Structure 1
Amino acid sequence: MNYKQKKTLILVNLGGPRTTEEIEVFLTDLFTDPFVFDLPLPEFLRLPLARFIAKKRTPKVKKIYESMGFGGGSPLVAETEKQAKALEQILNRKTDFNWTAKVAMTCGFPHIRDTEFEKPSSDTIYLPLYPQYSRSTVLSTLSHLEKKFKECPVGSGGYVPSFASDLKFHQITARFIFEFFTKSLNRDEFLHFPEVTFNGDWKDLDFIFSAHGVPMRLIRKGDRYMQEIESSVKGITEQLRLLGYRGQTHISYQSKVGPAKWTEPSSLQIIESLAKEGKQIAVYPISFVSDHLETLEEIGEQFKDLALESGAKSFTRIPAFGIYPPFLEYLAERVLAADILISYCSCKEMGGESLPTCRFK
């Protein structure tokens, strides 16, 4: 009997509480991460403060999750598991290997530090589900893996880099938006597909590409996240033009937490400004690949209410990719090319610092 060589793909996301009981654990993981909650404080002060903030925010966050209708938790883990299952099928179809796809989170469960997630190698490949590089997402993921395995995975053959500037990513995103407005997407593949879709000429809409914001402190440390967002939007806009799009595109940032200065302009500012001009607005979640709190509640409810109350003629939430087949086929290609994509310290170039065990120093 011939046995196929086994390979494992691990999809990494920031995470979300699956139940109400996991909310405080999720927030504690989030705020104690030095690449996320980056304050100019010694650890003996930063960590207790982070735990205090997590505990204090838990009741407020519970109410938000309860309002979403997913049993008091977030759908992000379940949606990432759908993507993993679909990618597993694609990789088994495309190769002669026996692939198993798993899901790991850097906050909450299943946590990336769990023993089931093995050392990155050509047989165990980690794919962070962040199109754009940021210290708060990609560098955080790499740091978790470095602490666990005593080496940075970049260049190990077991890590897939971000893809914000890739032409094919731009083409797939533009096609996805086009198919959404031409009603060519399979509604059943999406979580809470918008009930009301735009019925006019989508080619003249104002598109807002809304990204998750990050503190400017991270940008000042060398994080190229804003440049990555700009690269994505520029490339996608060019591809939309080829599909006939004539309107204006805008970049904005959402989900600010705390009083510190964050990336701007805020999505709330942009939406209110365009709405007061009577624009027809569509929002696409440029930094997200699956729908969850930020897309369903923040964009789909808060942004919609603000837009319509401020005078917008219409508001449309474009969903995230989810299990959109062309996107998953693209990710599979990235996974299969993981061994040959990296030959330099991407952490230093994209995030402003090398991790201690960088193999390219």
Structure 2
Amino acid sequence: MNKKGVLLVNLGSPESPEPKDVKKYLGEFLMDERVIDVPLWARTLLVKGIVLNTRPKASAAAYKKIWWEDGSPLIVLSEQLQEKVQEYTEFPVALAMRYGSMTIKKGLQELVDKGVEEVFLIPLYPQFAMATTETILVLAEDIRKESFPDLKIDSLPAFYNNPEYISVLANAIKDDLKHKKHDYLLFSYHGVPERHIRKSDITKSHCTIDGSCCKTPSPAHEFCYRHQCLEVTRLVAEELKLEKDTYSTSFQSRLGFDQWLLPYTDRTIERLGKSGVENMAIVTPAFVSDCLETLEEIAMEGEELFQEVGGKEFSTIPCLNTNKDWVALLAQWINEWALAPIKA
């Protein structure tokens, strides 16, 4: 039998919270054609002509607020996850990032050096999106063809509606909320431009983003980020038996002037605070590891905004990180894959 191995892949992080390292990281990230999907000349003008001349200092200041003594929280938590998953499986588990110095090529090389011939690539994103899962899979295949032509790669599909994942997520939320005062739960997902949803529509006709398409069964849902986010909220709400008016979904972060998925998280927090919600909790199921978007944008900026409009208690629910049930589930998926023949 061919020797098998696993590559966990997350987003990435700057080498440090200093502006020069943040600028380098943002340049690689934002020049990805699946992140900012406009013609190269326009992307270059926007990123190198505007963003990289204005944003690195502010982003560096944000990173400094959440940076740990051991380094980037995303990297540290991902490394801890890798180590714990390795304890549950006999197959070598490597870690890579889509952007930054911990490259996918290095991760694959690490496995190949251990004699691995078949790789189970696991994008650490519950939902499929052009700017997350797709860019990882496309780059991994390009690297395989160029540097590891004899290597076989299989990948874990989006697991947003996997019953075991939903159970793990719901239980983690439930356990955390036992210690927090709240009367409203907001599910906040990272935002994407609406055009990404339409581009990912394999039917080329289903995704109208009109409030009904995500609820109407369609093959398009296999790659529809919006549908998959809404499904996570629905399934977790059912698992936790949440009452109708005590939770909702929103989308955080946006760039440029294009229409991004609605409603926006910051405006939702503001609306809830003004409408009389005094105690709210927020969970971020688009991420499995805490990072800048959860630790600074949500936990810090979100709390400040909520209290400015009259809210009282604002609490954030950690990502799954190294939750023991999450670790065990990842290892279970790995071990199940290893028992089945890999696809050519």
What band does the TM-score fall into relative to the shorter chain? 0.7 to 0.9
| Counterpart in the other structure of 1:218 | 196
Matches within 5 A, 1:341-356: none
1:26 and 2:21 aligned: no
Query: 2:230 is paired with a residue of what secondary structure?
Result: helix
Q: Specify the code of the residue in structure 1 equivalent to 2:130.
A: R
Q: Check 1:314–1:44 CA distance in 2 against 1; reply closer, same or farther (3 A cut).
A: closer
1:297 and 2:296 aligned: yes
Q: Could you tell me which of 163, 175, 196 is aligned with 2:159? A: 163
Relative to its length, the structure with more helix (as a share) is: 2
Task: Quote the Cα distance in structure 2 between the aligned partners of 1:207 and 1:246.
Answer: 11
| Counterpart in the other structure of 2:134 | 139
Task: Quote the Cα distance in structure 2 between the aligned partners of 1:53 and 1:133.
Answer: 29
| Counterpart in the other structure of 2:218 | none
Query: 1:231 is paired with a residue of what secondary structure?
Result: helix
Q: Check 1:174–1:45 CA distance in 2 against 1; reply closer, same or farther (3 A cut).
A: closer
- In the TM superposition, residue 288 of structure 1 has moved relative to its aligned partner by 0.8
Task: Quote the Cα distance in structure 1 between the aligned partners of 2:102 and 2:332.
Answer: 25
TM-score, length-normalised on structure 1? 0.78
Is the CA contact 1:127–1:335 (under 8 Å) kept in the aligned structure 2?
A: no
Task: Quote the Cα distance in structure 1 between the aligned partners of 2:247 and 2:99.
Answer: 32
| Counterpart in the other structure of 1:209 | 187
**1:307-335 CA-partner distances (Å, limit 9, x unpaired):** 11111232111111110000111111222
Q: Could you tell me which of 12, 19, 26 is aligned with 1:15? A: 12
Q: Specify the code of the residue in structure 2 equivalent to 1:181.
A: L
Matches within 5 A, 1:239-278: 239-241=239-241, 248-278=246-276
| Counterpart in the other structure of 1:84 | 82
Matches within 5 A, 1:190-205: 198=180, 200=181, 205=183
- In the TM superposition, residue 172 of structure 1 has moved relative to its aligned partner by 1.0
Query: 2:37 is paired with a residue of what secondary structure?
Result: coil
Q: Specify the code of the residue in structure 2 equivalent to 1:170.
A: I
1:46 and 2:38 aligned: no
Task: Quote the Cα distance in structure 1 between the aligned partners of 2:100 and 2:50.
Answer: 16
Query: 1:22 is paired with a residue of what secondary structure?
Result: helix
Query: 2:311 is paired with a residue of what secondary structure?
Result: coil
| Counterpart in the other structure of 1:55 | 52
Q: Check 1:65–1:246 CA distance in 2 against 1; reply closer, same or farther (3 A cut).
A: same
| Counterpart in the other structure of 2:229 | 229
Is the CA contact 1:122–1:158 (under 8 Å) kept in the aligned structure 2?
A: no
1:150 and 2:128 aligned: no
Structure 1 spans left out of the alignment, 5+ residues:
93-98, 184-197, 344-358
**1:106-133 CA-partner distances (Å, limit 9, x unpaired):** 11120113362568x8732211100111
Count of residues paired in the alignment: 311
Q: Specify the code of the residue in structure 1 equivalent to 2:61.
A: K
**1:233-274 CA-partner distances (Å, limit 9, x unpaired):** 111111001xx7676211000011222211110001111111
Task: Quote the Cα distance in structure 1 between the aligned partners of 2:70 and 2:334.
Answer: 33
| Counterpart in the other structure of 1:285 | 284
Structure 2 spans left out of the alignment, 5+ residues:
201-222
| Counterpart in the other structure of 2:109 | 116
